Amino acid sequence: MTETLTEEKLNQLAEAVANNENLLTLGLNLGFKESKVKIYISTNKRNDSFEGTSSMLFAWKKKTRRAKQIPDLIKALVDAELAELVDDFFPSEEGNPQPAEERNNFDDILVTVAKTVRQNADIVDLGTKLGFTREDIEGYIATSHTTHKNAWDGTLQMLRDWSNSQRGSSQKEALEALLNSGQIRPADILYPLSSH
């Protein structure tokens, strides 16, 4: 049964992260524009509280499907270099079996895959093979078209959501499943497009 992200837990997390230097990064990872995150941060400073962070987390929760809330929040925290908060707040989340370094290496692979699978038809094919519904896949594709960051953000989010659902598996098994989807070749991972 998926754990519910309670108001109490969100408030505790908001308090824990309110004065953290990575709060801006966390807000961006949750999909907010930089200007909006800065407003939340200034609310914290003005009131010497975690009110702004709390507002940000509740606004994010409201627009996120329940099944995705904890996996997405864990991912955002890890990406904002706040993995220790994941251990504190989500210790039981089938969770976190891999050390942070291993998670980050695997995420690098997911980024490479997201950059490689660019055409909508290929994204649909990959998403289908990974077990997503057509509706979910269309949502990820729409994210890619509306984001102001990278054209592959929606694909990356789909891969991260899939990766989070594979938590019972080892990274190696998850990677094999990805390779078996037929969408990527080992060479894509060994020699990513972004290599310097």
SS (H, E, C) the chain: CCCCCCHHHHHHHHHHHCCCCCHHHHHHHCCCCHHHHHHHHHHHHHHCCCHHHHHHHHHHHHCCCHHHHHHHHHHHHHHCCCHHHHHHHCCCCCCCCCCHHHHHHHHHHHHHHHHHCCCHHHHHHHHHHCCCCHHHHHHHHHHHHHCCCCCCHHHHHHHHHHHHHCCCCCHHHHHHHHHHCCCCCHHHHHCCCCCC
pLDDT of 103 reads 55
Single out the residue of 123, 130, 171, 131 nearest to residue 151, CA to CA. 123
50 Cβ partners below 8 Å, 6+ apart?
Answer: 11, 14, 15, 17, 18, 44
Domain identity same for 127 and 82? no
Domain endpoint, select from 36, 56, 89: 89
pLDDT of 55 reads 92
Domain assignment of residue 158, given as a range: 100-190
Domain identity same for 73 and 146? no
Q: How many folded domains does the chain comprise?
A: 2
pLDDT band of 193, cuts 50, 70, 90: very low
Which phi and psi angles does 111 have, rounded to 5°? Answer: -60, -45
Mean pLDDT comparison of 31-40, 103-112, 139-148, 187-196, highest-scoring range: 31-40
Domain identity same for 171 and 107? yes
Q: Give the predicted TM-score (pTM) of the model.
A: 0.48
For residue 19, being part of any structural domain is answered with: yes
Domain endpoint, select from 89, 120, 137: 89
- Tell me the three-class secondary structure of 147-162, residue by residue: CCCCCCHHHHHHHHHH
Domain endpoint, select from 89, 118, 139: 89
Q: What's the CATH number where 45 sits? A: 1.10.533
Higher pLDDT, 94 or 117: 117
pLDDT of 184 reads 62
Domain identity same for 124 and 83? no
Render pLDDT for 132-178 as a digit per residue (tens, 0 to 9). 888 888 888 887 666 555 677 888 888 888 877 765 566 666 667 77
For residue 29, being part of any structural domain is answered with: yes
For residue 2, being part of any structural domain is answered with: no
For residue 94, being part of any structural domain is answered with: no
pLDDT band of 192, cuts 50, 70, 90: very low
Domain identity same for 64 and 121? no
Q: How many CA atoms lie within 13 A of 14 on its CB side?
A: 25
For residue 52, being part of any structural domain is answered with: yes
Domain identity same for 68 and 108? no
Q: What mean pLDDT comes out for the span 78-92?
A: 80
pLDDT of 60 reads 93
Domain identity same for 108 and 183? yes
